[in-house]
């Protein structure tokens, strides 16, 4: 009695997939040439923002959500996962114009070096990119002078985005562990 159910589910799933595929292809045909024209104009945008990782004080911009049994004794904080909502500013100081937030998380994923897996969206809240986002996913070896991470997508003005970000430490306070990182982002989009 248990066997027929998965088969039925599979069939229903298949049905849904075929229906959505056919409906999307038929509805887009009228405006497709217009869309194609727009897509041919590929743009390359470069912007610089400063990323504030505030871990100290009464209003930190990050929260640790996971630690492994090894994390506290690990010199690389291996196993730590931190959710961030970091301010992004135009200039290197917090008093500079706020342009958006870096929302996502980073995880310490190296036993030997301090290296993080970064997964975050730069969500713009002012300026010409207001309302648009870019998504960065990559490896960040904190001690390296330049850390390069892929830009894997975007929304709004950055729809279809592809590119890379280069991160350079601008300020690191060894007392508070607060860090400011300059992000140079190069994106190709339509
Ligand atoms: C690691 O350190 C944190 C903060 O000091 C503490 O809250 C936590 O209990 C420790 N975890 C382990 C597994 O020892
Ligand atoms: C950014 O866009 C939002 C939503 O459209 C709008 O409410 C807000 O005023 C804009 N902010 C700035 C600084 O332009
Ligand atoms: C680091 O933070 C402490 C405490 O807020 C502050 O007194 C000190 O000046 C800071 N150091 C640097 C280099 O910014």
Report the C-alpha gap between 104 and 92 in whole angstroms: 21
Distance between CA atoms of 73 and 14, rounded to whole angstroms? 50
Closest atom of ligand 3 to CA, residue 57:
5
Q: What is the CA radius of gyration of the chain?
A: 21
Element containing residue 6 per DSSP (H, E): helix 4-27
Give phi and psi for 167, each to the nearest 5. -110, 130
pTM for the whole thing? 0.81
CB of 28 within 6 A of ligand 1: the answer is no
130 lines ligand 2 (CB under 6 A): yes
Least confident of 35-44, 97-106, 111-120, 154-163: 35-44
Nearest C-alpha to atom 2 of ligand 1 is from which residue?
72
Ligand lying closest to the C-alpha of residue 174: 3
Q: How confident is the model at residue 37 (pLDDT cuts 50, 70, 90)?
A: low
CA 21: distance to chain centroid?
28
Rounded average pLDDT over 151-177: 97
User: Which pLDDT score, from 0 to 100, does residue 165 have?
Assistant: 98
Nearest Cα neighbor of 93 from 150, 134, 54, 36 is 54
Q: In this structure, what token pair is assigned to residue 177?
A: 């562990």
Reply yes or no on whether the pLDDT at 121 is more than 50: yes
């Amino acid at each position: 009695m248990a066997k027929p159910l998965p088969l039925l589910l599979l069939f229903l799933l298949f049905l849904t997939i075929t229906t959505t595929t056919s409906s999307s292809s038929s509805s887009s045909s009228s405006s497709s040439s217009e869309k194609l024209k727009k897509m041919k104009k590929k743009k390359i945008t470069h912007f610089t923002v400063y990323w504030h990782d505030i871990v100290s004080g009464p209003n930190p911009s990050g929260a640790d959500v996971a630690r492994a049994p090894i994390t506290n004794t690990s010199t690389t904080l291996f196993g730590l996962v931190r959710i961030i909502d970091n301010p992004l500013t135009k200039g290197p100081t917090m008093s500079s114009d706020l342009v958006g937030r870096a929302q996502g998380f980073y995880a310490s994923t190296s036993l030997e070096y301090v290296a993080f897996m970064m997964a975050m969206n730069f969500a713009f809240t002012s300026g010409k990119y207001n309302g648009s986002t870019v998504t960065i996913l990559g490896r960040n070896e904190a001690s390296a002078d330049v850390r390069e991470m892929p830009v894997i997508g975007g929304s709004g003005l950055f729809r279809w985005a592809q590119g890379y970000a280069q991160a350079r430490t601008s300020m690191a306070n060894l007392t508070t562990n607060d860090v400011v990182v300059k992000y140079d982002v190069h994106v190709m989009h339509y």
